[in-house]
Amino acid sequence: MKAIVQDRYGPPETLRLAEVDTPEPGPGEVLVRVEAAALNAYDWHVMRGDPRLARLGWGRSAPRARIRGRDFAGRVEAVGAGVADLSAGDAVFGDLGEASGAFAEYVCVPQELVAHSPRNLTPEQAAALPLAGVTALMGLSEVRPGHRVLVNGASGGVGTFAVQLAKALGATVTGVCRTRNVDVVRSLGADDVVDYTTTDFTRTGQRYDLVFDLVGNRSLTAFRRALTPSGTLVLSGGGVYRGGSLVGPVWLIARGRLLAPLLRQRIVVLDAVPGRARLDVLRTHAEAGRLVPAIDRTYPLADVPRAMRYLETEHARAKVVVTV
């Protein structure tokens, strides 16, 4: 089969299209013929091996997982022993986690990481959902009707889902983005949109029950200034980070972990965990029309290096998807 492989850390040019063995499903696994796969900031970080501290887990000189890509959608080709609720021909979507391998014609995935695709979505839309959608879902788990929620990084992959899910949960939603994306965020249902090029949301005097940070471009003190006295700050990643350091956005997250037990305001450091149960929740929202994946651009499999370059340099809006 054809797949995008990587034999050393580096820029998008280290990615190449190659012929590799087609995997075979073992017990509890599903073989999926990939129709679409989505790019995530995670893929960029692994490709670059950045921050360098993360190489302790990914591989010291090259990624242990040779094929990039986590999110996929496609059709079940075959199932291994013990798989009872999926069969050949089923439309599915999922997240391979740190194992990666979605930028390929076929993937083998444990059955607990794959679910039936939303019936009303295209493969491209379904592929855009798993990692970003689960991250948004987990980050908003404490939101209740009437809460005031701010999403910092509302036009990105996770942010576009977070705005829609927060509205579905009954919150009043403020999205923060750059000028060119204001209309996009408003079209997703945001009640208010802050243009960060002209306004610092931490100094407007507005207070929120939950601030969902997807950018990492403010200090903990500034973020807390935007919270109600009993509000919650959710830290996820650090999208503004563009590489070239030992620890990257880990420092902000580490400080959040250290301070959390000492504060009345809650600080939650989010670790998105893939799994079928959360994929099923996303499918329910999508089929009810409450969650519509926004796709910026699509690329063919052979153009994954070009897609990755766009992701890291052009401030992609919403999701970038690869068709296979």
| Cis peptide bond upstream of 51, omega within 30 | yes
Mean pLDDT, residues 245-249 taken together: 50
Tokens describing residue 233 = 């700050």
* pLDDT greater than 80 at residue 237: no
* C-alpha–C-alpha distance, residues 149 and 73, integer Å: 30
Among 16-25, 33-42, 60-69, 235-244, where is mean pLDDT lowest?
Answer: 235-244
Tokens describing residue 121 = 């979505």
2-129+293-323 topology per CATH: Quinone Oxidoreductase; Chain A, domain 1 (3.90.180)
Instruction: With CA atoms as reference, report the closest residue to 174 among 161, 183, 185.
Output: 185
Mean pLDDT, residues 93-120 taken together: 97
Do residues 67 and 103 lie in contact, with contact meaning Cβ atoms separated by under 8 Å?
A: yes
Classify residue 20 by burial, with Cβ atoms within 10 Å: 0-12, 13-18, 19+: middle
Domain 132-269, second-level architecture = 3-Layer(aba) Sandwich (3.40)
Do residues 167 and 189 lie in contact, with contact meaning Cβ atoms separated by under 8 Å?
A: yes
pLDDT, averaged across the chain: 91
* C-alpha–C-alpha distance, residues 53 and 30, integer Å: 33
Name the DSSP class of 318: S
Q: Give per-residue pLDDT as tens, 167-223.
A: 999 999 999 999 999 999 999 999 999 999 999 999 999 999 999 999 888 888 899
- Predicted TM-score (pTM) of the model is 0.91
Name the DSSP class of 22: P
* C-alpha–C-alpha distance, residues 220 and 240, integer Å: 15
Evaluate whether 2-129+293-323 and 132-269 have a shared fold: no
Instruction: Reduce the secondary structure of 53-117 to three states and give it as a string.
Output: HHHHHHCCCCCCCCECCCEEEEEEEEECCCCCCCCCCCEEEEECHHHCCCCECEEEEEHHHEEEC
Q: Give per-residue pLDDT as tens, 291-322.
A: 999 999 999 999 999 999 998 887 678 899 99
Domain ranges across the chain: 2-129+293-323, 132-269
Q: Give per-residue pLDDT as tens, 259-293.
A: 666 567 888 888 888 899 999 999 999 999 999 99
- Residues of the chain with pLDDT > 90, as a percent, come to 76
Residues in the chain: 324
123-295-67-311 Cα dihedral, nearest 10 degrees: 170
